[in-house]
Structure 1
């Protein structure tokens, strides 16, 4: 079960509590005058030694002390606080704390640092429930509730709680294996999330996809025994600020073998249940926006299928006619994500959107370029929108690195027999993939986010954990809620 975040008016006596102290604190604040002398002396000594995380065990309850960082920008200080939340969670888990109070003495505006600390605790506490049935495997009682006092408002705490529910929803979807989450089941989970949050869902089945002639999605699905789906999620509140919707397009390849251009395994195929991380992120964003009733009209599109080499699987050399009418020569069946995204991006034009953003684990090239530390971005949106997205990335520490889309990169995807091919050169692979997608967005402001690096981690990394991270949910939520 996820942690519940809530507001508390006061701090009860004898409660497990963490005290968030301002940067540079060397003496305990007056509010903590009721600590007995031995505890005060110990904490003061630790503060003088520049300790940032201090524990006092009173046996009936525990007090933890976290000192805010003084280094870097406000964004980096907030990120340090999230990481402090991760470190604190390890102590809470060892101490078997089930309910924690956060007493904010940091003096940060609107309780921003306390919220960041709670965010780090919440995301660190995430565990995929999985499918274990052995009683010995069941986990002991864990932290279930975090209550914040101080400057953070009840409304801000509730907003963060719903946002982090969206992140964990995305993580759950990413971590589910193919035999528990095929394209149809993925669409059903998106619809269930919509019912819970309040957004509308429509699911196109195979006959509808065939009628629309979505040649990319249909081709990738040819080798699969399971049908594809195309899911439309829409959050359209009556008080929406925007007359033209924002459209999010998420890659939904629920498992990618590479098709006939088979991936090697182990090493490349064994984690490919995560190839629908973009679609999962879109679901998490729509969930958070709807739960928080953010007054902005947003549509999510998720084309979904697995990519296998069986049956009538498409082959290198095939020429596909896409939903837009463009023809594509297939040079590699493992460059499948751009094919299904292309149909969805062309479909997005019907909404006359203010902006289209696609999110995808698209290329190993992006992961090699900047690793798990950031997101590769590029697009045709104006500088104002691109800057707003980068600023949102800095605020939530899901940072975006902009790659160029110069005209010369169009040469990388020229085909002798079709309008374009689906594979570029060995160099600039992330950019040629973006250049391919650009052809299906002409006339529409568009941003492409390649999340291949941070979407799924094979080793734990602070509050991002191990496995699906839900990368770009917090980024896009922050970006969209700040749009006019």
Structure 2
């Protein structure tokens, strides 16, 4: 993992970065004065560099836009990461941290399955000694949590089934000091989690239901925040089989919602947050083998309601429904789920944001939206009128698992709402959690989107 550290910065370092303003730029080396003067005439966010035989002097015209700085960080990685192991950043605290975040996130690589990996040499980002230890520690923990989420999303089902995903959560709990309980198939059967068991019927690998809890000694919230993540470790679509190109071939990413909520509780625990949090992850793969559930089946769910299955590729809502009902036992203040739930969400707003909806009070949505702007993991609130519930009513059961051709992301949310008694926010993260081609510091493949968003929400909404 790329480490951020502080040190006495030296003019002799091989890669040095200065963030400059329009005036009053102190302690700049004489050799870059012409470059500084040239950049000061350009718009904020411009950057350029001088290259010697074995070093780079990089100058960035400061911008108030954090996202521009993160993207510049990714461009710097493209420039120097293969050749050099260290970068020094000369800048004030806030700007240095934002640029370092962009650099560190862009320096992520998923190389586990290459026989001869081409690894970046960059390993350390140095900031000046005036920057606080707590801020540097927090940024390192953010990078660690996002890297973890990216790794599990990028790992194929051949190396990460439901049991192995649960094992990964146990390891995180041991490291960050939060409790983890993993329910195995026999316990899931005894609880009559019909949705999770139905989806799992086509697989030889058993399902798991993971319960992670972080409870500080004196939590600020009287009732816990419950996060629920869709943990479909691979989705073939089941008997409603997906096409392979551009669809099934990326479905190792169908547990990105689980990765987001697990990453968020891991990060909150590392940071010793004062917020009581619980994470629930129902996990399985969805395959057409064995005694796979079929279109036309009627499934009795954990809460006793019945669902007519009309498409086995609408499996995420089946397993989430059981988890959302299970959340009632914790008497939560708020339940948020994160799921790569619908293609409709991607078609509506692309990979640039997640769709959110629900019945929680506006103050929760406002905190989530503001958090999204801070970390640039933006959310777009969709309507959640009761009219959409009729799309999910079955002729032979309480509900059906797909709606009409229209507004599929909303009708899916209304389906899930029927299983939740607490205030509820549904996040469809199908767009930003996976990228087919490289995009700045977000990379390619699993982006880890949702980890920084949910952690920022916890910080912002529950601050004293």
TM-score range, shorter chain: over 0.9
Residue 30 of structure 2: aligned partner:
35
Q: What displacement does 1:150 show? A: 6.5
- Residues 55-83 of structure 1: per-residue CA shift (max 9 Å, x gap): 1234454321111225xxxxxx0111111
User: Among residues 379, 390, 399, which one is paired with 1:420 in the alignment?
Assistant: 399
The answer to whether the Cα contact below 8 Å between 1:104 and 1:150 also exists between their aligned partners in 2 is no
After superposition, the CA RMSD in angstroms is: 1.5
Cα 1:358–1:93, aligned 2, differ >3 Å: closer, same or farther? same
Residue of structure 1 in register with 2:41 after alignment: 48
Query: Contact 2:35–2:59 at 8 Å: present in 1 too?
Result: no
Give the distance between the partners of 1:378 and 1:440, measured in 2 at CA: 15
**Is 1:93 paired with 2:81?**
yes
Q: Equivalent residue for 2:408?
A: 429
Per the alignment, residue 68 of structure 1 pairs with 62
Instruction: Describe the superposition over 1:423-465 as per-residue Cα deviations: whole angstroms up to 9, x where unpaired.
Output: 00000000010000000013x0110000111111100111101
- For residues 34 and 369 of structure 2, the distance between their equivalents in structure 1, rounded to whole angstroms, comes to 45
Q: Aligned to 1:169, what secondary structure does the other structure show?
A: helix
For the residues of structure 1 that align with 2:33 and 2:52, how far apart are their CA atoms? 12
- 2:94 is aligned to 112
Note the C-alpha offset of 1:283: 1.5
Mapping of residues 250-329 of structure 1, within 5 Å? 250-329=229-308
Residue 121 (structure 1) aligns with? 103
Q: 1:12 aligns with which of 10, 13, 24?
A: 10
> Paired residue for 1:74?
none
Q: After the TM superposition, which residues 363-402 of structure 1 pair with which residues of structure 2 at under 5 Å, given as runs?
A: 363-402=342-381
Instruction: Tell me what 1:3 maps to.
Output: 2
- Give the TM-score normalised by the residue count of structure 1: 0.92
Q: Per-residue displacement from partner, 1:321-378 (whole Å, max 9, x unpaired)?
A: 1001111111110000000000000001100011110000000000000000000000
Structure 2 gaps, min length 5: none
Report the Cα offset of residue 483 of structure 1: 2.9
Q: Give the Cα separation in 1 of the matches to 2:173 and 2:269.
A: 8
Unaligned runs of 5+ in 1: 71-76, 106-110
Q: How far apart in 2 are the matches of 1:352 and 1:45?
A: 60
* CA distance in structure 2 between the partners assigned to 1:48 and 1:150 by the alignment: 30
- Trace 1:140-219 onto structure 2 (pairs within 5 A): 140=119, 142-149=121-128, 152-219=131-198
How far apart in 2 are the matches of 1:140 and 1:78? 28
Aligned residues: 460
2:211 and 2:5 mapped to 1: Cα distance? 32
Retained in 2: the 8 A contact 1:28–1:40?
A: no
SS in 2 for 1:376: strand
Aligned to 2:210: 231
- Is the Cα–Cα contact under 8 Å of residues 340 and 428 in structure 2 kept in the other structure? yes
Distance, in Å, in 2 between the alignment partners of 1:385 and 1:150 is 37
For the 8 Å contact 1:249–1:301, the answer to whether it is kept is yes
1:467 aligned onto 2:445 = yes
Work out the CA distance in 2 between the residues paired with 1:3 and 1:469. 16
